[in-house]
């Protein structure tokens, strides 16, 4: 019987459609989760505008085309070439630009995101773009400024979400089986009920006839017990009715005493945060500037780039010309050629 039922189910086209739909649902879930880009993502935010605020079309000579195409300036070959040269990346400009995306939520606001398989390199590329792009804007459009609003930072990397994808595939497959095979199962159950034989009444035999009660005829005399006089009980004297007991009147509940609000507690003033001072680095700006200008003729292809970097780090120098320690790696990566040509160190006295 079971073999015939299974054979009928396998012969129905709805079974094969449901099975194929299940396979397709789980295959799509596996492809979606397996092809997710697991690269690290770093992000930085730049605001392009004038001294009064963000860039708006029609203000201070800013055209609508410029406001709408700032993302193309970020993804330009010049920025890509400088980034590859500074960070010593072993890839082409086109390959780097494919991993850079720019979102413009509103005119003048640029949200730059970089994808890379190495988490440190992704943050370095985003930081380098945030360093070079303001210099490019200020050189080409002197009336505009492009400060970095949010420094480069990691935003993590997306997960494959295998559980969510396979769960969605399981729900789709279950709905497919219910829709296609539900009516077939209902029809099979109805046919089984109709094929079941109706119940037969039990047979009447001698034992059933003997168990039937005997009804006495009307002409038969009544039994002797029924002709005997029956004693009639004497009536009991009436009992006096009980008088209802009056219920006591409810007493009024005492009113609760008025609540007294606790005195307000004044919050203690938060302690003032300690002042943050930048750690002093090993390089002196004045000596570095003099060295670059002295040997600029030896490196004509990098002289303009070095001038841009010098203008950018000028504001970070202290009163004695010493630069912060956070720029040590940038100075060595950028001015390494001229430092090696000079053959001397510009490191300042740590005292």
Domain residue ranges of the chain, discontinuous segments joined by +:
40-154, 280-342
Distance CA 327, CA 334 (A): 10
What's the CATH number for 40-154? 3.30.70.1130
pLDDT single digits (tens) 158-180: 766 778 888 998 999 999 889 88
C-alpha neighbours within 13 Å on the C-beta side of residue 328: 13
**pLDDT confidence of residue 245:** 60
What six digits make up the tokens of 288?
A: 């570095």
Whole-prediction pTM: 0.41
Cα–Cα nearest to 126, from 140, 115, 110, 134 = 115
**pLDDT confidence of residue 57:** 53
Give me the residues of the chain with pLDDT under 50, please. Answer: 60-62, 207-210, 225-228, 272-276, 350-351
User: Does residue 141 contact residue 69 with C-beta atoms inside 8 Å?
Assistant: no
User: Does residue 137 contact residue 48 with C-beta atoms inside 8 Å?
Assistant: yes
At residue 173, φ and ψ (nearest 5 deg) are -65, -40
What six digits make up the tokens of 58?
A: 């029609």
pLDDT single digits (tens) 11-60: 788 888 888 989 999 999 888 877 766 789 999 999 888 765 666 655 54
- Which helix (H) or strand (E) element contains residue 34? helix 13-34
**pLDDT confidence of residue 273:** 45
**pLDDT confidence of residue 49:** 83
Distance CA 220, CA 223 (A): 9
Tell me how far CA of residue 178 lies from CA of 92, 165, 309, 327, in angstroms: 54, 20, 67, 65
Distance CA 12, CA 184 (A): 9
Distance CA 289, CA 320 (A): 14
Residue 125 DSSP SS3: helix
User: Does residue 56 contact residue 62 with C-beta atoms inside 8 Å?
Assistant: yes
**pLDDT confidence of residue 241:** 61
């Amino acid at each position: 019987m079971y073999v015939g039922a299974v054979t009928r189910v396998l012969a129905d086209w709805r079974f094969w459609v449901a099975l194929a739909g299940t396979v397709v649902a789980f295959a799509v879930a596996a492809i979606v989760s397996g092809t997710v880009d697991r690269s690290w993502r770093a992000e930085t935010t730049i605001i392009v505008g004038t001294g009064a605020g963000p860039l708006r079309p029609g203000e201070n000579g800013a055209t609508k085309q410029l406001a709408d195409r700032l993302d193309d300036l970020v993804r330009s070959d010049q920025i890509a070439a400088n980034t590859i040269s500074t960070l010593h990346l072993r890839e082409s400009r086109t390959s780097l630009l494919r991993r850079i995306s720019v979102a413009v939520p509103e005119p003048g606001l640029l949200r730059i995101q970089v994808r890379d398989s190495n988490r440190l390199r992704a943050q370095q590329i985003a930081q380098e773009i945030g360093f070079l792009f303001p210099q490019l804007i200020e050189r080409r459009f002197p009336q505009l400024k492009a400060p970095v609003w949010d420094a480069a930072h990691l935003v993590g990397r997306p997960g494959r979400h295998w559980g969510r994808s396979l769960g969605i595939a399981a729900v789709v497959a279950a709905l497919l089986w219910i829709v296609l095979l539900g009516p077939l199962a209902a029809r099979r159950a109805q046919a089984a009920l109709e094929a079941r034989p109706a119940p037969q009444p039990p047979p009447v035999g001698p034992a059933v006839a003997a168990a039937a009660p005997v009804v006495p005829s009307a002409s038969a005399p009544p039994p002797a017990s029924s002709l005997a006089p029956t004693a009639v009980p004497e009536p009991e004297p009436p009992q006096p009715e009980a008088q209802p007991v009056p219920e006591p009147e409810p007493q009024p509940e005492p009113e609760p005493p008025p609540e007294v609000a606790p005195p307000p507690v004044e919050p203690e003033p938060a302690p003032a945060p300690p002042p943050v001072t930048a750690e002093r680095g090993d390089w002196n700006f004045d000596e570095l500037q003099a060295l670059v200008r002295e040997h600029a003729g030896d490196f004509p292809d990098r002289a303009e780039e070095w001038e841009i970097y010098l203008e950018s780090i000028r504001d970070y120098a202290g009163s004695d010309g010493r630069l912060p320690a956070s720029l040590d790696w940038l100075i060595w990566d950028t001015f390494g050629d001229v430092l090696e040509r000079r053959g001397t160190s510009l490191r300042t006295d740590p005292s």
